[in-house]
Amino acid sequence: MDWKKIKEDSFQAGFRKLIKKTFQLPNGKIEDFDIKKEGPAVCILALSKDNNVVLARQFRPGPEKTLLELPGGLVDKNETPLEAAKREFLEETGYIGDFQFVGESLDCAYSTMIRYNFVAINCHKIQKQKLEENEFIEIVEMSLAEFRKHLKGGQLTDIESAYLGLDYLKLL
Amino acid sequence: MDWKKIKEDSFQAGFRKLIKKTFQLPNGKIEDFDIKKEGPAVCILALSKDNNVVLARQFRPGPEKTLLELPGGLVDKNETPLEAAKREFLEETGYIGDFQFVGESLDCAYSTMIRYNFVAINCHKIQKQKLEENEFIEIVEMSLAEFRKHLKGGQLTDIESAYLGLDYLKLL
């Protein structure tokens, strides 16, 4: 089962970065894979003081739908995942809370993305959102019972982070 | 919160397909997004007759790790998601089982990927694997208790499908 990486070369594709990775496969053959260079990212399952889940209602250009998503985003350079999680959460929602790190997860077999999953409890609003020019986010607080149904419906892109967070908090 | 799609153009980037989608944002500005054209995909949480989870141990070139993944793959043209799930499962594992559709999920805000999640119960081996030339998969059966720990560790790329399947089977 040993794969051996021979070389890799990054290239740009529109706004995206890809990496052409060349491997020697266990059967000796040489094969190229175009891997998505993405992340690292953070994602936050946030509970208000009343135990409602704090969600970010926003349009998503991949599925072309308005989704009720967990807050989150990319980790900036010179920033720890925890700092990124607190920053993204405050920017997107205007809320703060008590953060705990749940664990890492992997997004895709063909992406470099590592996701750092957090929970935040006792969340409450302290200021207005600070959104980027192309962000249009409406905050929605949803009861845990409704949120569990929302998860089963599959209409969000952070399902793994949500389940990992609920599991961590023993709220499954 | 209304986004209006102005146009879209597909383009090739190495082996990958991207779609440049141009939207008019709610503030009237025009912006391009390079969306990953991916999927549809199927993913199967498979339980053996003894209630072990059937996993596919394989190297993944994105994270460059050998992972214990759920079986799954892409839906071929002229194939339903259920047909794809049964075909991929049989090819990757040599097993059959009783399939039930759990639901759809979305993978990424910037991808067209739709994932069709299945559970399969009473799974058992009926033939050898039929792997593609670049597939090297070792089947591992893992107890449910171990699998729940594996999920929390985050070292697989199908965590959402696994939790959705466990939730569906009331095995969380």
Q: Which residues contact B104 (CB under 8 A, 6 or more apart)?
A: A154, B114, B115, B116, B117
In the numeric block, the tokens 């503030």 are attached to B27
- State chain B's mean pLDDT as an integer: 97
Q: What are the tens digits of pLDDT across the range A108-149?
A: 999 999 999 999 999 999 999 999 988 999 999 999 999 999
For the stretch B95-154, pLDDT in tens is 999 999 999 999 999 999 999 999 999 999 999 999 998 899 999 999 999 999 999 999
Mutate to test the interface with B, among A66, A157, A164, A166 (most CBs of B within 10 A): A157
pTM of the model: 0.97
Cα of B140 to nearest chain A Cα, Å: 14
Give mean pLDDT, residues B25-29. 95
- Residues of A with CB below 8 A from B37's CB? none
Is there a contact between B106 and A167 if contact means CB atoms under 8 Å apart? no
Q: Which of B131, B104, B112, B121 is nearest to B42 (CA)?
A: B104
Query: Chain-centre distance of CA A39, in angstroms?
Result: 9
Chain B interface, mutation test: which of A163, A167, A169, most B Cβ atoms within 10 Å? A163
User: Shortest CA distance to B59 belongs to which of A27, A10, A161?
Assistant: A27
Nearest to B47 by CA among B100, B84, B10: B100
Q: Tell me: the pLDDT tens digits for B84-98?
A: 999 999 999 999 999
Report chain A residues whose CB lies below 8 A from the CB of B134: 25, 29, 31
Nearest chain A residue (CA) to B2: A59
Residue listed under structure tokens 């607080």: A141
How near does any CA of chain B get to the CA of A149, in Å? 11
Integer-rounded Cα radius of gyration of chain A: 18
Encoded amino acid at A88, one letter: E
pLDDT, average across residues A11-39: 97
Rounded to the nearest angstrom, the minimum Cα separation between A148 and chain B is 10
Backbone angles phi, psi at A100, to 5 degrees: -135, 140
CA A121 to each of CA A18, A98, A116, A129, B79: distance values in angstroms, whole numbers, following the listed order:
37, 5, 17, 19, 44
